[in-house]
């Protein structure tokens, strides 16, 4: 994700003030969470994200609080920690609401319908999944935001897939693979800037070093989605796609002028306008273009103002006469993001309790103790980043903890800081979207309309990145050392030697 404004400066409590817990007690809230999640998914299926998962996180957070209180932490300290953790999520939640408004207004203004029509004209089913991957990647590199790209271009691509009766989970996987490739390599991405800053690596050195793992992972995704495109081409419904585009052209003024709000969003991203400001400005620009090109309607300008206001707040309801088009376009609005906000709040509650109770620190200490030799410390960085995404439910916490916890140790072992920044991104940034209760996973599921568990197997880039990074760690290839003597005696050491 690349729309969060700042990294948290510190965890809620210093390590010295945390209780000394056994590993078993530290694992207890995690064990409870796993059992509750399994039960929720068994009982509710895909509907678990609508409320049961949130309750699981809150109950597991209460269990972590109980462990902390038993260890001597006062309840007031736990409340303060949760408040600090919630503060870290305040801006992401505002941005989430803004993207909901952007989707609703751009639907009403005909901007996303325009993207769907033009996309249907240039996207051949024979290479649809591959094109979806590459288009998402290019736009995300330019915009520097996985969330914004998925909420605009991603929705349009999903629309083409819906009309063509192509696989929605696979389309979502291609979109997510592309947007996270772009997010990871874009100098405009705040997660890329954050990872470099935390490790003390110059930004463009970090980006260049990311190419070692990011390009091969994209290559794996290209091969997969090329094969999927060839196999899925015969399943595409050309008549359905034609019917959708006809319905859109009959109900909206489809024009190249409606691409200007999208270009304006690109320009603001390039100019490093804060994400919230850029998205809200794009909402206003979209409404203006909508009134100019779609017309004010019979109620005149006051009626149009009311319609766009409602689209921004509660979403847009399409009435095109086409059931497919209406189902696709009737979405957006701040109200549509409330379930996701509930999930984020529950995840932040759980993460705050895990941090202040001492459970998180004990788990991380155990991870650190498993990796004692040379570059194997990077396995600890990766494992901690993954754990942060699962336990804290936020990729910012994942990046901050995995970077700060290991920075001194990585330097002591002679590894250059870019090895730390790359590893935290390879394991942290791209895997956040694979966790349903993570802010990124919750957003993508809500925006693309596909459950996390459904699209997860098709997020090829996101799955390949940590695997490729782990291979580099195991073999020692591409690792950078402070001095030649700091490297292991045998370059390209085996995984057994590395561990």
Per-residue pLDDT of the chain (499 residues; tens, 9 = 90+): 444 434 444 444 555 467 788 889 999 998 898 888 888 878 887 666 667 888 888 999 999 999 999 989 999 999 998 888 788 778 778 888 888 899 899 999 998 888 888 877 777 777 889 999 999 998 888 777 888 889 888 998 998 888 888 899 999 999 999 999 988 888 777 778 778 887 788 888 888 888 999 999 999 999 999 998 887 665 666 677 788 888 888 888 888 999 899 888 888 877 878 878 888 999 999 999 999 988 877 777 888 899 999 999 999 998 888 888 888 888 889 998 888 788 778 878 888 898 889 888 887 777 767 776 677 888 888 888 888 888 767 777 777 777 777 777 788 888 888 888 899 899 988 999 998 878 788 889 988 989 898 999 999 999 999 999 999 988 888 777 776 655 665 444 433 333 3
Asked if residue 22 is part of any domain, the answer here is no
Asked if residue 294 is part of any domain, the answer here is yes
pTM: 0.78
Asked if residue 150 is part of any domain, the answer here is yes
Asked if residue 243 is part of any domain, the answer here is yes
Domain that holds residue 275: 92-337
Asked if residue 234 is part of any domain, the answer here is yes
Instruction: Work out how many domains the chain is built from and give that number.
Output: 1
Number of Cα atoms under 13 Å in the Cβ half of residue 433: 37
Asked if residue 35 is part of any domain, the answer here is no
Asked if residue 166 is part of any domain, the answer here is yes
Asked if residue 62 is part of any domain, the answer here is no
């Amino acid at each position: 994700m690349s729309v969060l404004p700042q990294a948290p400066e510190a965890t809620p409590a210093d390590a010295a003030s945390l209780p000394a817990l056994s590993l078993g007690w530290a694992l207890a809230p995690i064990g409870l969470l796993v059992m509750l999640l399994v039960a929720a998914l068994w009982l509710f299926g895909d509907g678990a994200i609508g409320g049961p998962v949130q309750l699981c996180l809150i109950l597991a957070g209460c269990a972590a609080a109980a462990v902390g209180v038993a260890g001597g932490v006062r309840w007031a300290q736990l409340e303060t920690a949760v408040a600090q953790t919630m503060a870290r999520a305040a801006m992401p939640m505002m941005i989430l609401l803004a993207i909901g408004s952007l989707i609703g207004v751009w639907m009403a203004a005909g901007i996303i319908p325009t993207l769907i029509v033009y996309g249907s004209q240039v996207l051949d089913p024979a290479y649809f999944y591959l094109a979806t991957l590459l288009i998402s990647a290019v736009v995300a590199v330019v915009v520097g935001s996985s969330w914004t790209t998925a909420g605009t271009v991603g929705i349009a691509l999903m629309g083409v897939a819906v009309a063509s009766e192509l696989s929605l989970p696979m389309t979502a996987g291609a979109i997510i693979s592309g947007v996270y490739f772009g997010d990871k390599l874009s100098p405009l991405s705040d997660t890329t800037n954050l990872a470099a800053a935390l490790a003390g690596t110059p930004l463009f050195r970090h980006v260049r070093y990311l190419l070692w793992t990011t390009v091969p992972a994209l290559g794996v995704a290209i091969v997969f989605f090329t094969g999927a495109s060839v196999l899925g081409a015969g399943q595409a419904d050309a008549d359905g796609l034609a019917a959708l585009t006809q319905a859109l052209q009959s109900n909206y003024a489809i024009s190249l002028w409606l691409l200007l709000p999208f270009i304006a969003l690109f320009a603001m991203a390039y100019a490093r306008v804060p994400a919230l400001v850029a998205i809200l400005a794009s909402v206003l620009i979209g409404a203006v273009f909508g009134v100019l090109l779609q017309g004010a309607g019979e109620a005149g300008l006051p009626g149009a103002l009311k319609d766009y206001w409602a689209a921004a707040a509660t979403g847009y309801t399409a009435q095109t006469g086409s059931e497919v088009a209406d189902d696709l376009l009737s979405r957006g609005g701040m109200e549509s993001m409330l379930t996701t906000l509930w999930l984020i709040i529950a995840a932040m509650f759980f993460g705050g309790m895990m941090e202040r109770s001492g459970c998180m620190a004990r788990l991380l200490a155990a991870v650190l103790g498993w990796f004692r030799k040379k570059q194997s410390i990077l396995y600890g960085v990766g494992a901690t980043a993954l754990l942060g995404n699962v336990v804290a439910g936020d990729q910012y916490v994942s990046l901050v903890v995995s970077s700060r916890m290991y920075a001194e140790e990585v330097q002591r072992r002679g590894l250059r800081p870019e090895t730390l920044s790359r590893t935290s991104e390879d394991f942290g940034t791209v895997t956040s979207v694979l966790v349903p209760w993570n802010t990124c996973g919750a957003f993508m599921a809500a925006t693309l309309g596909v459950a996390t568990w459904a699209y997860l197997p098709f997020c090829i880039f996101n799955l390949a990145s940590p695997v490729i990074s782990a291979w580099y760690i195991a073999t020692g290839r591409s690792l950078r050392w402070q001095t030649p003597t700091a490297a292991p005696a045998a370059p390209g050491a085996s995984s057994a030697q590395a561990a």
